[in-house]
Amino acid sequence: MNELFYLIILIIISYLIGSTPTSIIVGRITKGIDIREHGSGNAGGTNVFRVLGWKPALFVVVIDVFKGWLPAAIFAPAFYYAQIIPDLGVVQILCGFSAVLGHTYTIFAGFKGGKGVGTLGGMLIALFPTAFPFCLAIAIITIILTGYVSLASILASVSLPIFLFILPPFFGVNPAPLSLMVFSLLIPWFITFTHRSNIQRLRSGEENRFEKAMIFRKK
């Protein structure tokens, strides 16, 4: 019973950490604006870059990534080794994804946050350190070629379970536990859900491009 109580407390703490509305705070401090009322309307690093520039955007991305990494990499293992829990991966998923949900549905800003990509990325660094760089490479290549950050996020999430399946034999690492493999299959669904408005704009040709990243584009 005590284990369950402490786990619930840890999940709540993880959610509150994820709920810290970094981009909204930065927008208020630097320009006195609500970032959700400018640019694409999203409270995320990409929109901060569009509206405020690369320095505030870099700060937002680093903090958002850290929000997802901290619960999964530090809180969950500490709880796991202190309590009788059979699967570390389950605890990491519960804590890390609570932070992701906190970012997406922040209690400090009317439950209207970002898409969850940065915070989810921090969580994935903790859970899948071997596969994450390959997913990041997919995202970067997609942004460079198309300029669509939303498409890059979706393709990177779809590639995760694929890399988890094909990388272990080549790198001599142990396959991910079943709990993490199942979770990796759910991630594309979550990213697709949070980007549903972006998908509609992609289909209609109205999605915003990150044109500065399209280094091979003819001018």
pLDDT in tens, 116-163: 999 999 999 999 999 999 999 999 999 999 999 999 999 999 999 999
So what's the pLDDT on residue 11?
96
**Percent over 70 (pLDDT), the chain:** 98
C-beta separation of 43 from 35 below 8 A: yes
Task: Say if residue 219's pLDDT is above 70.
Answer: no
So what's the pLDDT on residue 218?
64
The runs of H, that is alpha helices, within 71-131 are 76-82, 88-104, 117-127
So what's the pLDDT on residue 211?
83
Ramachandran angles phi, psi of 15, nearest 5°: -60, -45
Mean pLDDT for the stretch of residues 166-192: 92
So what's the pLDDT on residue 1?
59
C-beta separation of 52 from 44 below 8 A: no
Mean pLDDT of all residues belonging to the chain: 92
Give CA–CA dist 149/49, Å, rounded.
12
Give CA–CA dist 157/139, Å, rounded.
9
pLDDT band at 90 (very low <50, low <70, confident <90, very high): very high
**Burial classification of residue 1, based on how many CB atoms lie within 10 Å of its CB (0-12 exposed, 13-18 middle, 19 or more buried):** exposed
Task: Say if residue 179's pLDDT is above 70.
Answer: yes
pLDDT in tens, 16-26: 999 999 999 99
* pTM, to two decimals: 0.92
